[in-house]
Structure 1
Amino acid sequence: MSYRESFYRYLMTQCSADAKDDVAQFANNAQNDQTFPKQEQSYEELSNYLELNAGYLPNMSIFDEAYQMYREKMSY
């Protein structure tokens, strides 16, 4: 069984000090979210968490885009 990094760990690679795109802004905000499920890989679990707790995420399509990027990277 191959190792798969968590979504949070992947998302942190998208952080940017001068975040101009939505995914980078999401990553920067998630970095400051003390209760973000840092070990989670499941789309459903992450989506549920974000819908209930992430006021910093203007819309879920940003998460969908970031999660798709994560899946593509993990499917090597």
Structure 2
Amino acid sequence: MTERNPNSHHEIAEFANNAFLDQSFPKQSQEYDELSRYLEFNASYLPTMTIFDEAWEMYLDKTN
């Protein structure tokens, strides 16, 4: 959610914006598998899981 930016067309910002608007997205989860599963089955706004993987790596870098 920290990558949200409604004025950006960067794919990670767009993903974060859409995930924020997705009422069912597990925003409080810190589990890669839970988030990945959710996105694979429910996130038509995510064109490729590579975007999520990049965002996840950024998240890990910030939390470690």
Shared fold by TM > 0.5?
yes
Query: SS in structure 2 opposite 1:63?
Result: helix
Equivalent position of 2:31 in the other structure:
42
Q: Deviations over 1:12-53 (max 9, x none)?
A: 211112122110000110111000012111111110000000
List alignment gaps of at least 5 residues for structure 1. Answer: 1-11
Which of structures 1 and 2 has the larger relative contact order (alpha carbons within 8 angstroms, sep 6+)? 1
Question: Percent identity at matched positions?
Answer: 56
Looking at structure 1, the residues matched to 27 and 15 of structure 2 have their Cα atoms a distance apart, in angstroms, of 14
TM-score norm. by structure 1 comes to: 0.80
Whole-angstrom CA distance in 1 between matches of 2:12 and 2:53: 10
Once superposed, which parts of structure 1, at least 4 consecutive aligned residues long, lie more than 4 Å away?
none
**CA distance, structure 1, for counterparts of residue 11 and residue 27 of structure 2:** 20
In structure 2, what is the equivalent of residue 7 of structure 1?
none
Larger radius of gyration: 1
CA distance in 1, matches of 2:19, 2:13: 10
How many residues in Structure 1 have an aligned counterpart in Structure 2? 64
| TM superposition score normalised by structure 2 | 0.95
* CA-based RMSD: 0.7
Structure 2: runs of 5+ lacking an equivalent: none
